Amino acid sequence: QVQLVESGGGLVQAGGSLRLSCAASGLTFSIYAMSWFRQAPGKEREFVAAISGSGARISYADSVKGRFTVSRDNPKNTMYLQMNSLKAEDAAAYYCAAGVYGSSSRNYNYWGQGTQVTVSS
């Protein structure tokens, strides 16, 4: 049974940083592309970042480029999202997903339950 468990969310002041983690189990982690999506209340789920199985390919949404960094540690079956210079508009539930590399949610078969990020101004 595949499980993706996000952690690291919380309340942070604007301009601050958070590091999210996504721990995976029940799948051969290194062959799956991993991604982060987010969804704010009343808005559609949107792509944040993706990383290929080897880590050789990485992509970001324009809104987070230069501020967020996605990485993975395959021996630990874990993906990370370092979020710096957080803005109010970054507040959302953040989801990790496993599947085929790309920015569409349809590329990803497996999803976590999400972790909430709140940014205070």
The reported pLDDT for the residue numbered 121 is 86
User: Which string of DSSP letters, residue by residue, matches the chain?
Assistant: --EEEEE--EEEETT--EEEEEEEESS-GGGSEEEEEEE-TTS--EEEEEE-TTS--EEE-TTTTTTEEEEEEGGGTEEEEEE-S--GGG-EEEEEEEESSSSSGGGEEEE---EEEEEE-
Which pLDDT tens digits describe the chain residue by residue (121 residues)? Answer: 999 999 999 999 999 999 999 999 999 999 999 999 999 999 999 999 999 999 999 999 999 999 999 999 999 999 999 999 999 999 999 999 999 999 999 999 999 999 999 999 8
